[in-house]
Amino acid sequence: MVCRSRSLDGRECRSEVCMIVKNQLWNDARVKKEASTLKRMGLSVTIIAYPEEGRPESEVWNNVQVLRVPRSGALKARLRKALDSCEEDDRGLLRRMVAALRHNPMKKFLGLLFHSLLYQARLLRHALATGAEVFHSHDLDTLPVCAAAAFLTSGKLVYDSHELWLESRRHLLETSRPFRVLEKWTEELIAPLADAVIAVTPGRAGIMREMYPDMAGPDLVPNYPPMIPRMKKSGEVRRSLGAWEEPCFVFLYQGILGLHRGLEELVDAAAMLRGLPVRIALVGHDRSRGVIPEYAAERMTADVLTFHPPVPSEDLPGITASADCGLLLFQGSCLNHTYSLPNKLFEYMMAGLPIVACDLPEISAVVRRHRCGVLVDAGDPASIADGMRRVAADPAGAAEMGMNGYLAARDLYTWHNSALTLHGIYQRLLGRRLPLPGPGGAE
């Protein structure tokens, strides 16, 4: 049954599937590919996501309803104002209680927990308003609210695990111990109750099966790119990537600029490549809090290495195609990295780029199988620099590796293959036949 609801601006909308992601949609290629695929299967879809500067709270994107829910609400502001007024009150007990709370060692945890619960409540209200049959959770941080919505409406729950969340560096380093325990309990409790569980790589799927033997699946939906025609290199784009003079060999890293992705070692490798006609471009969001750009400045690599601002996922193929070689240097600092198959690997292959890649199990298996790149020790700058030199010094070999990767991506690693798995999952959940999605992705 399709239920009617109203969007944030009061317009009536219809949804059979409600997706929730705690991310900005503009740069989340996987969520957009899945939503577009479901739409081509004849399903109505609502995506609930974080706000984006300059974008409306409610809009239709690619025939998909998008709701951007503000992260801070009026209730939080009113409570903060009430606490401030209580602390200024001279009448004693209430003032001392509020002051004690604000100086309590647990204040940060309690504050974050309170803020999280308020936001979860707002997400739940909007999710319920969609009247969806299926609530599709993108990663562990949206699993509780999707589970609550499914329970309250007798709907279906999909847990789409993009990461091994509990084994990721972000979780291990940036999450306080109380929240780590809370998130562990959440996944242990809810994941086995999901009607469908989705994993991105075979290795991660295997670990999830070991962790939760009573869990459904998981089904494997790799984050392959959509099939796109090969694009010509753009001189303007190459100049934006640092190729101010030609001939020049451009190495590209695209994705999050974070720690433990081999980027600090790449900066050191860049310093070893001075004097060669090569440039290195890093394109993406800086999640290192300035550590990587500052380290690059310290090493004085500006003549070799360029930082390029992030671009919408739809615009990325043109940048990828204008480079000469892709870089993928993840380090095995956590199980999430060890068993990763980043979409950038297949985006490089789809663009016909050879790859200088780390020797982690899932990534190296693809590179070795298709002979589409060279493997290096991502923890050793000298090894990275040597691999880059070898590729740049052999244009014919680089072109052969690039073509090997392109042919493999075209035949094996396109989103259409993942979409067929997603089609099977939703037919099973809804108990009815759905049209097969044609080739394509997020359009």
Is residue 197 within 8 A of residue 216, CB to CB? The reply is: yes
pLDDT in tens, 294-347: 999 999 999 999 999 999 888 999 999 999 999 999 998 888 889 999 999 999
The amino acid present at 429, given as its one-letter code, is L
Overall pTM > 0.75: yes
Tell whether the model's pLDDT for residue 21 goes beyond 90: yes
Average pLDDT, the chain: 88
Number of residues written out for the chain? 443
Report residue 126's pLDDT band, with 50, 70 and 90 as the boundaries.
Answer: very high
DSSP state of 167: G
75, pLDDT greater than 80: no
Res. 398: pLDDT tops 70: yes
Q: What is the pLDDT of residue 205?
A: 93
Per-residue pLDDT tens for 217-273? Answer: 899 999 999 998 889 999 999 999 988 888 999 999 999 998 889 999 999 999 999
Task: Look at residue 127 and give its three-state secondary structure.
Answer: helix
Q: How far is CA 83 from CA 79, 108, 415, in A?
A: 6, 15, 51
pLDDT surpassing 90 at residue 190: yes
pLDDT for the residue numbered 3:
42
**Domains of the chain, first to last:** 3-72+105-225+415-430 (3.40.50.2000), 235-412 (3.40.50.2000)
* Residue 182: per-residue pLDDT: 86
CA distance 339 to 371: 20
**For residue 392, what pLDDT band results from cuts at 50, 70 and 90?**
very high
pLDDT score, position 366? 97
End-to-end CA distance of the chain: give it in Å, rounded. 27
Q: What's the token pair of residue 201?
A: 């790589």
Question: Taking Cα atoms as reference points, which of 292, 300, 262, 274 lies closest to residue 389?
Answer: 274
Lowest mean pLDDT among 4-13, 64-73, 183-192, 241-250: 4-13
| Residue 400 confidence (pLDDT) above 50 | yes
Q: Does residue 378 contact residue 265 with C-beta atoms inside 8 Å?
A: yes
Among 79, 90, 113, residue whose Cα is nearest residue 183: 113
To the nearest 10 degrees (0 to 180), the angle between helices 177-190 and 107-130 is 30
Place of tokens 């104002």: 81
Strand ranges for 313-377 from DSSP E: 325-328, 355-358, 373-376
Q: Is the pLDDT of residue 69 over 80?
A: yes
- Whether 59 has a pLDDT exceeding 80, the answer reads yes
